[in-house]
Amino acid sequence: MSLNQIRGRFAPSPTGEMHLGNAWTALLAWLHTRSQGGQMILRIEDLDPDRSREEYVKQLLEDMAWLGLDWDEGPDIGGAYGPYYQSERRNFYEAALEKLEAAKLIYPCYCTRAELHAVAAAPHLGETEYVYPGTCRTLTGKEREERQKQSRRSSVRLTVSNEIICFSDALQGECRQAVEFSCGDFVIRRSDGVFAYQLAVVVDDGSMAITEVLRGADLLMSTPRQLLLYRLLELQPPVFIHVPLLIGTDGSRLSKRHGSLSLANMRKRGIKPETIIGYLAWKAGQIAAWEPLTARDMIGHFSINSIPVAPVVVEDML
């Protein structure tokens, strides 16, 4: 690989049909990479075995091809940095865990979901947000044995130090976060043995030599945790670009529950891919008015600086 080779990626989770919000992120990531003459990587983030489905992977590949978004490496065509399914990359995550363990940076956590929810219910925090108080960080060997005797399964948490993580997002600007006070020691492997997104995404992007990560702004606040892991694992972090989410006219985030905006549904209704690409390009500030376009039509005109920062409203027009 050339030292100056741009490598971008789209990494969807196969837990439902691809919808307009997924297409938005996929298109912008693809345009950002292709406009720089870079390589596009498609990775399937199927970490959660209970929610991921192979039929959704098949549908996703078809939808991407229908939109005119191609890739240079992926689950169907392979590549030098595979496998391209997270479910097949467990050995990479195990190696990362061993490295963190050797540095004495992780510990088992026996807190139950109910105990964590009790913390989340504190008046000063959101309904599902909580700062882990470090309950299991200082357990003695005897206390850990007692919890194991109670048949408590343990997750694995990363010990977080008191520091400010700073980075510059190519769209959102300068970001600062004290991870210790925003979330505390965070989980990198769940109690059921499934590796957490925070660890897997860092290991994958680092080992796949990804240089640019364009993704939704809902992941902006978790980026400092990932940057911490990049440093501890001695991996090169990419440039981050967090684009706004698409929201409905009611202000809610577009999701798989917006069935009418799934690509499969729109295809059945006879909507052309050029109509969708043109609509998304218009919403992304890349063209002045909505008109049918192919993704390749937009490569030479793409500009990160034209993308709005605030959430983008999608009218019921498609």
User: Which of the residues are catalytic?
Assistant: 256
Separation in Å, CA 73 to CA 5, 25, 81, 299, 314: 14, 18, 8, 19, 31
Q: Tokens standing for 309?
A: 């920062």
Instruction: Dump the DSSP string for the chain.
Output: --TT--EEEE----SS--BHHHHHHHHHHHHHHHTTT-EEEE-B----TTT--HHHHHHHHHHHHHHT---SBBTTTB-TT---BGGG-HHHHHHHHHHHHHTT-EEEE---HHHHHHHHTSTTS-SS------TTTT--HHHHHHHHHTT---EEEEPPPS-EEEEEETTTEEEEEEHHHHT-SEEEE-TTSPBPHHHHHHHHHHHTT--EEEEEGGGGGGHHHHHHHHHHTT----EEEEEPPEE-TTSPBP-TT-GGGBHHHHHHTT--HHHHHHHHHHHTTSSSS-----HHHHGGG--GGGS-SS-EE--TT-
Distance between CA atoms of residues 259 and 19, nearest Å:
8
Backbone angles phi, psi at 121, to 5 degrees: -80, 0
